Amino acid sequence: MLRLGTRGLANTSYCSFSSSSADVVVAGGGMVGSAAAAALAKLACMQNRKIILLEAAPEKKIVLTPEYSNRVSALSPSSVGLLSKLGAWDIMQKSRVSPVMKMRVWDGCSKAGIVFGEDGDNQEPLSHLVENDVTVGALTDVLSGCDNLEVRYGAKVKKYHLPTKEESESRPKEEVVVELEGGEMIETSLLVGADGFRSLVRSSIGCDYVGWEYDQMGIVATLVLEVQGGVNSTAWQRFLPTGPVALLPLSGNMSSLVWTVNKDMAREMVEMDQEVFIAKLNKALFGKDDENSLVNSVSEGFGLFLNSFLPSQKQEESPPIVKGVANRAAFPLGFGHSSRYIGPRAVLVGDAAHRVHPLAGQGVNLGFGDVDSLAEVVEGMVVEGGGLGHHEYLCQYETDRQRHNLATMVGVDCLQKLYCTSNTPMVLARSLGIMATNAAQPVKKLILQHAG
């Protein structure tokens, strides 16, 4: 049985205004914030501690309808592992989740492509496609079963008062004070910022933030498909000069669409007649207008060369034909990264720390990775006696996550820039590169390991 240390003294300059306190305050709900609160509340060393989750939105009971939501996430194996540890995954499986057994990615300017996932009964899913409401609903159920956790809905923060840490201190003497718009003050030993890419916690830390908006928007929708063979478990993604178009399996004949288009096209795409939209989408998936004949000729010769000393590649499958569409919407796309993930008694997770283009489906997975790492670090703080908010432990978290996140984000941004061009030398280089990668199984396994 661990003996937990007592909490530090409160910041006396705010003491008379405070009406509550907590060992940890998580700012922001959603998938990542809820997972962070649940992960910390589930730690054995935190059972006698108090955690408060502040959610700005009012409480809302999530009720699934027969119609699929257009807000979905492709959860990696490591994200599924975290949700399983928290007890959320069992709940989600009783609702609706869709395994992705294979992923086919190909170029709109050539015939080059790459396939992830093998045929066979023992193949593990590459990911699981889940509606965000299903994930949030399951995490909400988990949170309701945590006696050491309080969820405050409609809690809008006016300001975060972070203490000053002297260089000689392992953690500040004073605590963080959260000032709510209603005037209430909450003191806490550790503040977790999960409040999105416009994070007030990040602004309060005062760290530099590098970010930009792409001149693109994401069109999302739910699709009805005509699927070859009747099995819809493959994710399809085609890189077009205007941006990638992806079909992500939801059920036997339904998939979720994520289609990146130029900003000036987005509104028209959302509002256009359904039959016209379907025709444009099928053309984006099957059309050959953008293919470069020179690149195709060189790629064909390179393919014969690869097949001369590597196992012959299996015949390519064709993507499903889109027959219907519902729930069209558009959202802006951007990139962002905070120079620091930590501050005095404060730490950032999810979009508060990093924002990434959805083309690789890594956004929420990076956030869940942050949560997993943070839970391990907080456990170390308490069990090893450092105390909540200990700076060296927070630095361990920052180092661990920045090493992983930056590599992923830079790779995704480079892919976005590499494929948004029809320049012949660039198309040739990327086509030969993706063909070589497809032929090199160890390289593909490394890619999956990093993403998973």
How many alpha carbons fall within 13 Å on the CB side of residue 198?
1
* Cα–Cα separations (whole angstroms), residue 210 to 197, 281, 355, 384, 426: 11, 34, 10, 35, 27
| Residue 439: band (very low, low, confident or very high) from pLDDT cuts 50, 70, 90 | confident
d(C-alpha 367, C-alpha 363), whole Å: 7
Contact predicate 369/78, CB 8 Å:
yes
Greatest mean pLDDT among 220-234, 296-310, 411-425: 220-234
Q: Is 206 exposed, middle or buried (0-12, 13-18, 19+ CB in 10 A)?
A: exposed
Residue for token pair 């992806």: 246
Q: What is the pLDDT of residue 113?
A: 85
Any alpha helices (H) in 252-342, and if so which ranges?
Answer: 263-271, 274-286, 293-307
What are the tokens at 127? Answer: 């990911």
Buried/exposed code over 239-265 (b: 16+ C-beta within 10 A; e: otherwise)? bbebbbbbbbbbeebbbbbbbbbeeeb
Percentage of the chain exceeding pLDDT 70: 91
Express each pLDDT in 226-265 by its tens digit: 988 778 999 999 999 888 999 999 999 999 999 999 999 9
Express each pLDDT in 72-131 by its tens digit: 999 999 999 999 999 999 999 999 999 999 999 888 888 888 888 876 656 889 999 999
φ, ψ of residue 318 in degrees (nearest 5): -100, 145
d(C-alpha 142, C-alpha 156), whole Å: 23
d(C-alpha 102, C-alpha 115), whole Å: 7
Contact predicate 153/55, CB 8 Å:
yes
d(C-alpha 368, C-alpha 349), whole Å: 8
Express each pLDDT in 186-198 by its tens digit: 999 999 999 999 9
How many alpha carbons fall within 13 Å on the CB side of residue 423?
9
Q: What is the pLDDT of residue 160?
A: 97
Any alpha helices (H) in 55-208, and if so which ranges?
Answer: 77-86, 88-94, 132-144, 200-205
Express each pLDDT in 28-87 by its tens digit: 999 999 999 999 999 999 999 999 999 999 998 888 888 999 999 999 999 999 999 999
Q: What is the pLDDT of residue 13?
A: 44
| Residue 424: band (very low, low, confident or very high) from pLDDT cuts 50, 70, 90 | confident
Q: What is the pLDDT of residue 435?
A: 79
